[in-house]
Amino acid sequence: MIIDFSKLSTIKIGAKLDIKIINENNYNNEILIGRASNSLVCGGNIGVLSDKYDFIKIENNKLVVGAKTKNSKLYNFTRQNNIAGFEFLSKLPGSIGGTIKMNAGMKSYEISNNLISVNEIEKNNLEFGYRFSNINFPIFYAKFEIKNGFNKNLVDTFSKMRKNQPKNPSLGSAFKNPNGDYAGRLIEAVGLKGIKFGEVGFSEIHSNFLVNYGNGSCEDVIIALSEAKKRVFEEFGITLQEEIKVIQ
């Protein structure tokens, strides 16, 4: 199966690759890609999950979700069924597998908060942190606690937080915030806010968003990330860590 990642990815940049459809019986160390909402896919041995992993169901008072399920689909399900703890998914692109893998969220609201297990591995046997998990295996499905009380006010709060983010195609935050500081502040401080590298640049609206201004390339993104890391380290002695995953 051929996928053009410049059409799939949220930054509208990527290679056209022959990929493998993955299930629990044929995985062979492929790099799994979901919606490419924080992954720049420029090459590699790529796999995508079978559509059988796009599901939501309630079993034994637990929420069971396939890893290919879109975040927006799970958000709508929890809103319609008055389930709390998933409000932050309203504005979060991507699919549940990738969201769990990077422990995505907004502020203190993270996907791991309500998590019970991944595949059949209990949460207490896994490690989660700020935009981090130690999961090094393919995620096929997950189970979550069901807590009643969907909070519309939280949705409004998250929507307001998203208003300062650029509309251009991007992969979300380029770098994780270092302890006690903000990546966007550091990038602006070293003079990169609004600066382009080819057709890719650090947004004038939010410095930590690397956006595609037209026909950006993988090379443009890689050069921009490298330059930001170099300047911030030289100026502040801080090593920025990418939140974007670059796959070559």
Which residues are known catalytic residues?
131, 173, 243
Tell me how far apart the alpha carbons of residues 175 and 229 are, in angstroms, rounded to a whole number.
Answer: 9
As a dihedral over the C-alpha atoms of residue 199, residue 200, residue 202, residue 204, rounded to 10 degrees, the angle is: 40
What residue spans of 26-129 are helical by DSSP H?
A: 71-80, 96-101
E-only strand ranges, 42-177: 46-49, 56-59, 62-66, 105-106, 109-110, 115-118, 121-122, 128-129, 132-133, 141-145, 170-173
Name the residue among 39, 140, 40, 37 with its Cα closest to residue 97.
Answer: 140
Name the residue among 101, 41, 94 with its Cα closest to residue 246.
Answer: 41
Name the residue among 177, 171, 174, 176 with its Cα closest to residue 208.
Answer: 174
CB 135 within 8 A of CB 123: no
Tell me how far apart the alpha carbons of residues 193 and 16 are, in angstroms, rounded to a whole number.
Answer: 30
